[in-house]
Amino acid sequence: MWRSLFLAIGITLIIVGCECLVVDTATVAGDGGPRPFTPPDWAPWSMISSGAIIILYSFTIPKRMNG
């Protein structure tokens, strides 16, 4: 179960990181109405790289638990 959880988190981070690369500004609904959101330049690459690391980590979990 832990493997699938970490795999889902990693895939989600990669998808959101790729979306941040493509989209310049997004409109987010908030309490005071819609607000524009502009991701910082470092955010997409950080999300993509951390998602890849988490996915690689998820493949090593069963080996550690059998061990």
Q: Total structural domains in the chain?
A: 1
pLDDT score recorded for residue 44 = 96
Tens-place pLDDT, residues 22-63: 999 999 998 889 999 999 999 999 999 999 999 999 988 866
3-state secondary structure of 29: strand
Q: Are 18 and 30 in contact (CB under 8 A)?
A: no
Per-residue model confidence (pLDDT) at position 66: 44
Q: Which residues form the domain of 27?
A: 2-66
Does 19 have pLDDT greater than 90?
yes
57 half-sphere exposure, CB direction, 13 A CA radius: 13
- pTM recorded for the entire structure: 0.81
Higher pLDDT among residues 2 and 7, named by residue = 7
pLDDT > 70? residue 21: yes
What pLDDT does residue 64 have? 58
17 by Cβ neighbours in 10 Å (0-12 / 13-18 / 19+) ranks as buried
State the amino acid at position 43 in one-letter form: A
